[in-house]
Amino acid sequence: MIAGIDHFVLTVRSVEATCDFYRRVLGMRRLDQPNRPTALLFGSQKINLHQVGRTFEPKARTPTPGSGDFCLVSAVPLAEIQAGLAAEGVAIEVGPVERVGAQGAMMSVYFRDPDDNLVEVSEYLK
C-alpha cells in the first residue's frame, strides 16, 4: 500500500545552521516558500525543517531537536561521502560498516548534524 517516503520533518534549533550543514556536507538544496516550512531537497525527497518554537501544524506530539535517526542512500560512492565529511571536519561516529537496508546489503557511515541527530549515509552493495 505504501510506495515510498516523500518527506520527513526535523525539529531544529536553527534553520540557518541546519541548512548550511546539509548544503555543505551533503549537497542538499534549500527551498523557502511563503507560509511553508523551509525544506532541504535531495533526489525526489525532502526534509522539512521546523525551528523550535516556530513549528507548523500538525506536528509531532513532542518535537525535540536531536531526536532524529535516519538513513540516506548516497548517489555517489561512499568514499566520496567520507572524503566530504573529512573536508568539512565532520567526525564519523561509526563506519564504514555493513548494514542491511530495505533493499539489501549496504555499507554505512554514521555522523551527527548540528542538533545531534544521527545521520546514516549508505551505499548499497552490488
**Catalytic positions:** 120
Secondary element (H or E) of residue 23: helix 15-26
Identify the burial level of 49 via C-beta atoms within 10 angstroms of its C-beta, where 0-12 means exposed, 13-18 middle and 19 or more buried.
Answer: buried
- Compute the half-sphere exposure of residue 17: CA atoms within 13 Å on the CB side of its CA: 11
- Compute the half-sphere exposure of residue 36: CA atoms within 13 Å on the CB side of its CA: 11
